[in-house]
Structure 1
Amino acid sequence: MLNITYSKKTVLICGIILSTLLPILAIYSSLLFKDLGFSKETQFYISRFTIWISLLLLFLYSFKIEKQPFLLWKETEYPFSSFVKILFITFLKLFVAVYIVGLLIILFKITGESAALNKILTLFKKNYVLLFFTCLTAGITEELIFRGYLLPRLEAILKNKNLAIILSSIVFGFLHIGYGTLLNVIGPIVIGFVFAIQYEKYRNIKILIICHFLWDLFLLIAKT
């Protein structure tokens, strides 16, 4: 657990706010180009590129303002066999968690069709490069921001790892509120919760990046 001063705490809180606001601004940045004649594909590409820019800004903030590494938790290195095993365990936990929540959603009859998601899926059906780039962007940027950056800093401030895991998962879930349905928030909260637990346990962001990328890739290919 990190021991931080008042001034350091203020800087960390500002970083936490940035890690929440920058991805939101990046996602909705494409709206600025809506009336400029850009196609839906181009607008979507712009929103993905701006997420990378938000990650870069967060990197600069950690180095220049916080004056510390972006990843507060030192990466634990594993032999290849152990790496693959942990990756498989993470994927399995994710599948079980999503499956159980899916059953509960059916049980409580929580339904909702996301018009926004359907429009995106239509784009992906026409452009698999965009689909792949989207999965790659989500896997790398979202894990680095919400698990690599946000989670350790929440834990440092709150002095409570369980609360940090829950809050980071909720923030991650509400990042997807633009899809317009409760289901599109619940799902990412569950996914964020599983990934946060795994990062807390194994301290290896690369495992989460690969797992997140593959999960999104398989899911989107299945939907398209």
Structure 2
Amino acid sequence: MGLNGKYSVGILLTFMLLGIVMLYVFPVISMVTGVRSITGDTFFISRLAIWAVFLIILLYSHYIEKESFLVQKEKKYSVSFGIKAVICLYLFCVFGGAVINLLIQNFIHKEESSKILQFASIFKNNYFLIIFTCFTAGTVEELLMRGYIQPRIEKIYNSPYAGILVSAALFGILHSTYGTIGQVVIPFFIGIIFALFYKKYSNIKILIACHFMIDLISLMAMNFIDFKHLSVF
């Protein structure tokens, strides 16, 4: 199998494993532990499963592809540039996502995700779980979606646009398990912005920091507002 074939298998494996975790991790945890409802402990275990997916893909890149996990070479920037980039990306994603969410709420239908409502109660005043969840999402999702998938798609099709669009599409699809249109469209929008940034600046650390910041501020805000207002997220 050629390198592009190995890349294709790795991308498919990444998407399948993440999809399996998103869809079936809680039923499996429930079957093993006997705990029927989602609790802070079971949610923590589910985040460990996401780290396990990252480890599998890391090993695949090392032993099967025999290449660096990040095939797009990282560029170094000053701390001031990194801070400005994180803030600009955050504002662009949040305001853009807010506009998309407003359009969906007003022109399609009002959406409420039962999963988001359920998770909100789990995160209530559980600051360790909030931070660990945000760290997991920011680190693993960026390393896999932008760091691993995007440049490999680009190499397979010899097109940066393919890498940007496919990685963003997969990012959106993986969020579809939350059950609303907004939870697909907004991550797709953010995926496009992040993928464009990664293509131009080749720095995954800035994207990890921004992703962490978006999730942390959102979850902390959810922690302090009434559940009936959660549709804004």
Structure 1 length as normaliser, TM-score? 0.92
| Structure 1 CA distance for aligned equivalents of residues 87 and 190 of structure 2 | 15
How far residue 43 of structure 1 moved from its aligned partner, in angstroms, is: 1.7
Which runs of no fewer than 5 residues in structure 2 stay unpaired? 224-233
1:87-98 matches, within 5 Å, as: 87-98=86-97
Alpha-carbon contact 1:45-1:130 (below 8 Å) kept? yes
1:144–1:90 CA distance, 2 compared to 1 (3 A): same
Note the aligned Cα RMSD (angstroms): 1.5
| Structure 2 CA distance for aligned equivalents of residues 183 and 110 of structure 1 | 11
| Structure 2 CA distance for aligned equivalents of residues 156 and 197 of structure 1 | 16
| Structure 1 CA distance for aligned equivalents of residues 111 and 81 of structure 2 | 40
Residue in 2 aligned with 1:30? 26
Alpha-carbon contact 1:111-1:183 (below 8 Å) kept? no
Compare 20-29 and 76-85 and name the one that shifted more.
20-29
State the Cα deviation string for residues 49-97 of structure 1 (Å, max 9, x = none).
0100110110000010000000011110011122222222222321232
How far residue 133 of structure 1 moved from its aligned partner, in angstroms, is: 0.8
Residue in 1 aligned with 2:71? 72
How far residue 118 of structure 1 moved from its aligned partner, in angstroms, is: 0.6
1:40-189 matches, within 5 Å, as: 40-189=39-188
| Structure 2 CA distance for aligned equivalents of residues 33 and 25 of structure 1 | 13
How far residue 126 of structure 1 moved from its aligned partner, in angstroms, is: 4.4
Calculate percent identity across the aligned residue pairs. 39
Letter of the structure 2 residue corresponding to residue 34 of structure 1: S
Compare 36-45 and 62-71 and name the one that shifted more.
36-45
Alpha-carbon contact 2:18-2:53 (below 8 Å) kept? yes
How far residue 99 of structure 1 moved from its aligned partner, in angstroms, is: 2.9
Residue in 2 aligned with 1:217? 216
Compare 115-124 and 102-111 and name the one that shifted more.
102-111
| Structure 2 CA distance for aligned equivalents of residues 84 and 41 of structure 1 | 32
Which runs of no fewer than 5 residues in structure 1 stay unpaired? 1-5
Alpha-carbon contact 1:138-1:212 (below 8 Å) kept? yes
How far residue 102 of structure 1 moved from its aligned partner, in angstroms, is: 2.7
Residue in 2 aligned with 1:3? none
How far residue 156 of structure 1 moved from its aligned partner, in angstroms, is: 0.6
Structure 2 length as normaliser, TM-score? 0.88
Match of residue 11, structure 1, among 6, 12, 16: 6
Letter of the structure 2 residue corresponding to residue 139 of structure 1: G
Residue in 2 aligned with 1:195? 194
Letter of the structure 1 residue corresponding to residue 20 of structure 2: L
How far residue 120 of structure 1 moved from its aligned partner, in angstroms, is: 0.6
Alpha-carbon contact 1:110-1:183 (below 8 Å) kept? no
